Amino acid sequence: MNTSQDPRESTRGLLNTAAVLRHGFLDVLGESTSSPVPTFAQRAMNSRLVATVYERLWRPTSFYLASGITARAEQRRAAAALRLSTAHRLLDVACGPGNFTAPLARCLPAGALAVGFDISEPMLTRAVVDNDGPQTCYVRGDARVLPFDDETFDAVCCFGALYLMPEPFDITREMLRVLRPGGRIAILTSYSGQAAPVRKALTATANLIGLAMFDRRSFVDLFSSAGLVDIEQQTQRAVQFVAATKPR
């Protein structure tokens, strides 16, 4: 990769569809918004207020309560699981305000590229203000159809978002499509727990605001049926982290 290239130009070269530069991010969607019937949780992610407080207040508080893990520890775990020290292209799906994209970009070798991808304009506007950098570019699009060719990225992640999405497993397969053989995938999502009463209570509460709860097998089974290897899973309270390698 050419180290002197602007990250937006590098990213444009990876996109398989036209994009316009708006507010500092590349937009492949134009005027279109998110799903036709957004849930409460999806509406929140499209709100300017939530985008403003997300990185410093909403995210650290809610995820610390849900997992007992700090954002810094999560970032270290993600960088290690994705093997970023040897990756050249990272895709952070549903990057929100870039709160993982930027710290993960700093773990990449010089000249590598981190692409943050999200559907929410307010989130991406914040990402450009708060989490831009020489190896970072943000793209607005819908993760149901990632606008990249097969096997484009060395590492692909999606944190804190699959439980918001109506098609979490299709989106995970999309992430696998754009991952190159030998590359790593990591996801952080909800975990319903093992004990039936806890599972029932968590699922009912989450469903009220439009969040899905996943059991221990959901993503492990998806990864193993897709042929992935080195599958690692950690569960903490209501959160699970799953990482794996796409075989060569």
Ligand X SMILES: C[S@@+](CC[C@H](N)C(=O)[O-])C[C@H]1O[C@@H](n2cnc3c(N)ncnc32)[C@H](O)[C@@H]1O
Nearest Cα residue to 71 out of 98, 108, 47:
98
Question: Would you say 147 or 183 has its CB closer to ligand X?
Answer: 147
> Which residue lies nearer to ligand X by CB, 11 or 99?
99
59 is a contact residue toward ligand X (CB under 6 A): yes
Is residue 27 a contact residue for ligand X (CB under 6 A)?
A: no
The number of residues that bind ligand X (CB under 6 A) is 19
Q: Which two tokens stand for residue 225?
A: 């049926």
Kindly report the number of other CB atoms within 10 A of residue 125's CB atom: 20
CB of 248 to ligand X, least distance (A): 28
Minimum CB distance to ligand X smaller for 156 or for 165: 165
Q: Which of residues 113-172 bind ligand X (CB under 6 A)?
A: 118-120, 123, 142-144, 159-161, 164-165
Give CA separation, 8 vs 11, 15, 50, 89, 111, in Å.
5, 10, 26, 13, 13
Q: 19, 78, 81, 95: which one contacts ligand X (CB under 6 A)?
A: 95
Q: Does 48 bind ligand X (CB under 6 A)?
A: no
> Closest separation between CB of residue 3 and ligand X, Å?
27
At closest approach, how far in Å is the CB of 247 from ligand X? 26
* Residue with smaller CB distance to ligand X, 89 or 140: 140
The three state secondary structure string of 17-73 is CCCEEECCEEECCCCCCCCCCCCHHHHHHCCHHHHHHHHHHHHHHHHHHHHCCCHHH
Which residues would be at the binding site for ligand X (CB under 6 A)?
45, 59, 94-96, 99-100, 118-120, 123, 142-144, 159-161, 164-165
